[in-house]
Amino acid sequence: MTLDSRTLAPAQRYALVLVDLAIGFTDPEHSPLASSCDAVVAANAQLLEAFRQRGWPVFFTTVAYDSPDQARVFREKLPVLNVLKADSTLVKIDPRLEPRVGEPVIVKFWASAFFGTNLAELIRQTGADGVMITGLTTSGCVRATAVDALQHDFRVLIPEQATGDRDTQAHAANLRDLKIKYADVRSVEECLALLG
């Protein structure tokens, strides 16, 4: 049986949430968590420029740990996360997407950018009623962030080419499922057109 899934009405104002586009996820030469994702970074740079030109809100996230008590069970399940030490270059945003003054970098310990952070409050303070969620990885932190964004009553839009995953099958399956249940998934060009 197919679910009756509908396209969301566009938001009045979007915030751009760039999930975990840190060196630890974008530089496979230096991080076991990373994959080759130059096209994803380029798509994010395009969206970032469009949001900056309009003065619309931009938020980055990174995962960084400075205590063994943070996300203990998550790190037990996936020990490779321990490379994301707070003082490591791996937790810095990829320099191709360097945050500007006034563009917060939200430090998170778990998959969702909303869990255990004040991101929802910060987005509401900007007057945004929708979020464009991009970044890495589609099957993990992008998905968790999109589901939580919907649960905060934001209109969720995912620019397809601006997301990526180490596993191409997981990437495709998660975008399909997100589109059915939680978000609209569109091309970067279609997303840019919605900015007006």
Which residues participate in catalysis according to the annotation? 141
3-state helix, strand, coil in the chain (%, to 5): 40, 20, 40
How many Å apart are CA 10 and CA 45, to the nearest integer?
A: 22
Q: What is the token pair recorded at 131?
A: 């979020």
Q: Are 157 and 11 spatial neighbours (Cβ–Cβ below 8 Å)? A: yes
Q: Pseudo-torsion of CA 134, 140, 143, 145, nearest 10°?
A: -70
CA angle 173, 58, 165 (to 5 degrees): 25
Q: Is the dihedral of CA 18, 23, 27, 33 positive or negative?
A: negative
Q: Which residues contact 194 (CB under 8 A, 6 or more apart)?
A: 10, 14, 157
